[in-house]
Structure 1
Amino acid sequence: MTVIDANRMHEIETRYPEYFHRSFRQRFGGLMILVATLLYSLYAVWFFDLPKLFAEAHWERVGIYLSQWVSYDVQPEFRIEDDGSIDIRYPRFSPLGDNPHPDWLVNNPDGSITVSVSGTSRSVTVSKSETIVTAHGVSVPVEVSSGAPKVVGPVPGWMTVYDDNVLADLGFAGNVSISVDRVKIRKRFIGWANFIFDTQSSFFDKPVGEVVSLIVSGPRIKPDQSNLSLAFDDIWNNSEWQHGDVWTKLFQTIVMAFLGTLLGSLTAFPLAFLAARNITPNRLLNQVLKRFFDFLRSVDMLIWALFLTRAFGPGPLAGSGAIFLTETGTLGKLYSEGLENIDNKSREGIKSTGAQTVLVHRYGIMPQIVPVFVSQTLYQWESNVRGATIIGAVGAGGIGLKLWEAMRTNANWENVAYMVILILIVVFIFDTASNALRHRLMGTKAH
């Protein structure tokens, strides 16, 4: 064990003062950052009034919306006529078609009708004088013969009584609305109804085996069209899911992203050479172009889309223009900074041979910057596929507008889920492809 005397210790402190005489910032910098972060968090809680926000939030809507993404409902309505008969009606464009006869609806010998909402644990029996709702292990009769529906016995927590209506909440399975002259049931099913063929299709409600048999070797349903062509038309023109329109709009979104990015890169490329200080030694021109790039980038793509939809009307042209303007600014800045960071030795070596400027750029600059430029452009293209979806919601066309229209109805959440999944698949494919191309160009391995 080596012992260091006072003189040796003083000599070490003199030689390495940064280790023995640290500044206030070095000693307490970490603690100050921690305290500042804590204070800012407290300020954010106060500024946004987070306790009140969380207390008043409608958290139950999260479950409702998520359930509607993966399910659909059927809404039979039972009208009690004056003669005591019960008339069953379904909404227009019901998922069950124009003349439904579901097996979960049973006509009883006494004239009543029993609807199985969720197996035998949740059911509704409708008669001319009362409606019996069975759920959570109990059966609750509701009289409907008087001026207003009346619950017989204690009212359970899952049932709400209004002046002229009784509402029974059966959870995810659905709900029941009971009034004097009618009972409306909402029965929920897992899945997407009529995703392949809608109720107007000749193949609607047919088993898969029968559909395949008709397409492969069955007699023609329409004499002037093959069954395969008819099946494709029915799927493409599905009135409920609108596959043809959705896929067309999705293709528009991809084209918008590609066209806007391509035009932006082609415009930014020559401008970047003029903006780079080491390529074009004109300080005024450099600054003007860099500020021009900053201006194009500072106006968000969404704002450009709003401007262009007012100028050219809604459609893909406005979306492509918005991406083009944004990418000209973004790629112009990236390209010019890449040019300013190149190794000038190759350029100066070729220049010393008396080669023309074009050849100097071609052999002294391009080999250094092409992989970087292509990599940056591919990344922006991938990002613009997502951006094109957002700007579509303000009228720039593409699937974004279709998605916004479905969300505004607040009823077609399964259609929203369908389009969101398509967008996620497209983004995943483009992300994977662009990553592979970037790694290939940069000579690195993808992880």
Structure 2
Amino acid sequence: MSLATDPMTASVSAAGLKARADHLFRAKRLRAFALPVLALLYLAYAFFAFDVTGLVERARPENGAILMRDIYSYKTHVERDNRSGEISYAIEGERKGQYPEGTRPEWVTVAGDVTTVAMPQGHELRYYPDHVEYDIPGYGTISARSSARGVDATYPEGPLPDYISAAANRVMVTTDAGRVTITRNRTEVFRYFTGWELFFFTLQSPYHGMGFQELAGHALNGEAGAIWHDFWYNEMWRHADVAWALFETVLMAFLGTFGAAIVALPLAFLAARNFTPLMVVRQAARRLFDLFRGVDALIWTIVLSRAFGPGPMTGALAILLTDTGSFGKLFSEALENVDEKQIEGIRSTGARPVQRYRFGVIPQVTPVLMSQVLYFFESNTRSATVIGAITGGGIGLMLTQAMITQKDWEEVSYYILLVVLMVFAMDAFSGWLRRKLIKGGEGGH
């Protein structure tokens, strides 16, 4: 009877296996189609939720072009006070970049009561005692007169071009030749030039405009200290302040990272299963680590700045708290994976627990610990830039101040470039230090 039913049982089993296989294939096929559909539905929701269409309509590419041009160029301002008639010339319109008394840019000429500003592409603006005229090739002449009511301007016949913004109180013309702004109180001409003007010396320095050979000659004649002083304490670019800000940024990252490592290492023994058998203590240590790393460093920065006030030390403490949680988890996991045989060998010599930890545990986990600490140090160098903007210290503060002014974007690009170079330097330094400490230098390869 069993022989007769064996083929039937085998057939039922095969049918069951086929049904299960078909079910698995259908479920897999359904998931393969469902995931892309869900992704498309989410993208469609995001498209309407974030109003992408409205964002495109509100976009102002010309403002982006002006911003990009400001990053690699500078503006020379020719400004007239419409109330007094006084004309001033300054790089970026700042007092620190103002031309000395009796001097002006070579592309500005004065003939009697008329001051002419020559601009690229044949554009020309003329200051008259009672009005302003702006010649635009291919369009015509704009004449504007300031009064108590605002700005009275006349234009060539026809509709106004897109590059002219006209209102009762202000007329602004923005072209590739520069920018002209006319208001009731003043008239300004912004002429763009490529480069970072006054990066080495301000207009007040006797070394401004000198070439390298001429500067070298002055330096050899005993003026090296004066040359360095005028460069290092440049009022426009503030090289001394920038260098100190970079040092503060690195110091925040260093104190926060290595301080966290010092605090986290002994606490990690409490969280490691093989060193702390008591579960209550172990869980308390782990939840403490979760609390510290569960709150972002920026949140800790805001909390600590209210408690201790602004400053680099507040940023260092914020990094320390966050990294203590991260290091505690990483270090405790490394301790749980140590080789017990090495510890037993140390114990067999009669060593005390502290000695067993020092010679049996620390040498095993040191490569992992140092590697993680140096990686975090490199990452925190970048994070300290943002934290410094909140705590009022480091290069982050200077970067934020330059962004808020919205006029010296070449300074913004300068600070960003320095931050990138600083990160490159920290990457190279941490890599070299890892090789020295972990692999024993070149001989370790």
**TM class, shorter-length:** 0.7 to 0.9
Question: What's the offset of the Cα at 1:98?
Answer: 1.7
Structure 1 segment 153-172 matched on structure 2, within 5 A: 153-154=157-158, 156-157=160-161, 158-163=163-168, 165-171=170-176
**1:184 counterpart SS class:** strand
Q: Which residue of 2 aligns with 1:258?
A: 254
- Partners of 1:396 and 1:372 in 2: CA distance: 34
| C-alpha spacing 1:396/1:163, structure 2 compared with 1 (3 Å) | closer
Q: Which residue of 2 aligns with 1:279?
A: 275
2:220 to 203, 216, 221: 216
Structure 1 segment 196-235 matched on structure 2, within 5 A: 196-217=200-221, 227-235=223-231
Structure 1 segment 264-303 matched on structure 2, within 5 A: 264-303=260-299
| C-alpha spacing 1:178/1:272, structure 2 compared with 1 (3 Å) | closer
> Aligned residues: percent identity?
36
Question: What's the offset of the Cα at 1:339?
Answer: 1.9
| C-alpha spacing 1:47/1:81, structure 2 compared with 1 (3 Å) | closer
- Partners of 1:205 and 1:177 in 2: CA distance: 29
2:70/2:409 contact within 8 Å kept: yes
**Please, which moves more after superposition, 310-319 or 128-137?**
128-137
Q: Which residue of 2 aligns with 1:428?
A: 424
Q: Which residue of 1 aligns with 2:384?
A: 388
2:197 to 187, 193, 200: 193
Structure having the larger proportion of residues in helix: 2
Structure 1 segment 316-395 matched on structure 2, within 5 A: 316-348=312-344, 350-351=346-347, 355-395=351-391
**Post-superposition CA distance 1:294-350 (Å, at most 9, x none):** 101112111212222222221111111111111111111111122223444444565
Q: Which residue of 2 aligns with 1:62?
A: 64
**2:383 counterpart SS class:** helix
**Please, which moves more after superposition, 64-73 or 142-151?**
142-151
**1:76 counterpart SS class:** strand
Question: What's the offset of the Cα at 1:252?
Answer: 0.7
| C-alpha spacing 1:443/1:35, structure 2 compared with 1 (3 Å) | farther
Q: Which residue of 1 aligns with 2:3?
A: none
- Partners of 2:81 and 2:351 in 1: CA distance: 91
1:293/1:330 contact within 8 Å kept: yes
Q: Aligned pairs, how many? A: 425
| C-alpha spacing 1:426/1:80, structure 2 compared with 1 (3 Å) | closer
2:141/2:156 contact within 8 Å kept: yes
**Please, which moves more after superposition, 48-57 or 271-280?**
48-57
AA at the equivalent of 2:125: V
Question: What's the offset of the Cα at 1:106?
Answer: 2.9
2:140/2:156 contact within 8 Å kept: no
1:305/1:396 contact within 8 Å kept: no
Q: Specify every segment of 5 or more residues in structure 2 that has no aligned partner in the other structure, as ranges.
A: 1-9
Q: Which residue of 1 aligns with 2:143?
A: 142
- Partners of 1:316 and 1:143 in 2: CA distance: 51
Structure-1-length-normalised TM-score: 0.83
1:174/1:186 contact within 8 Å kept: yes
**2:322 counterpart SS class:** helix
Q: Which residue of 2 aligns with 1:53?
A: 55
1:309/1:318 contact within 8 Å kept: yes
1:408 to 390, 404, 411: 404
2:107 to 78, 95, 104: 104
2:312/2:393 contact within 8 Å kept: yes
1:95/1:193 contact within 8 Å kept: no
1:130/1:141 contact within 8 Å kept: no
1:33 to 32, 35, 43: 35
The answer to whether the aligner puts 1:305 opposite 2:301 as a matched pair is yes
**Post-superposition CA distance 1:72-97 (Å, at most 9, x none):** 11121346899xxx753335626352
Q: Which residue of 2 aligns with 1:43?
A: 45
**Post-superposition CA distance 1:169-228 (Å, at most 9, x none):** 223x321234699643111111112111123323234444333222211xxxxxxxx522
Question: What's the offset of the Cα at 1:130?
Answer: 6.5
**Please, which moves more after superposition, 150-159 or 35-44?**
150-159
AA at the equivalent of 1:168: V
2:76/2:191 contact within 8 Å kept: yes
Question: What's the offset of the Cα at 1:421?
Answer: 0.8
**Please, which moves more after superposition, 398-407 or 131-140?**
131-140
Q: Which residue of 2 aligns with 1:220?
A: none
1:184 to 185, 188, 197: 188
Q: Which residue of 1 aligns with 2:4?
A: none
AA at the equivalent of 1:56: R
Structure-2-length-normalised TM-score: 0.83
**Post-superposition CA distance 1:223-269 (Å, at most 9, x none):** xxx52222222222111111111110110110111111111001111
Q: Which residue of 2 aligns with 1:88?
A: 87
| C-alpha spacing 1:288/1:87, structure 2 compared with 1 (3 Å) | closer
- Partners of 1:317 and 1:20 in 2: CA distance: 64
Q: Which residue of 1 aligns with 2:122?
A: 121
Question: What's the offset of the Cα at 1:370?
Answer: 1.5
Q: Which residue of 1 aligns with 2:7?
A: none
**Please, which moves more after superposition, 428-437 or 68-77?**
428-437
| C-alpha spacing 1:16/1:335, structure 2 compared with 1 (3 Å) | farther
Q: Specify every segment of 5 or more residues in structure 1 that has no aligned partner in the other structure, as ranges.
A: 1-7, 218-225
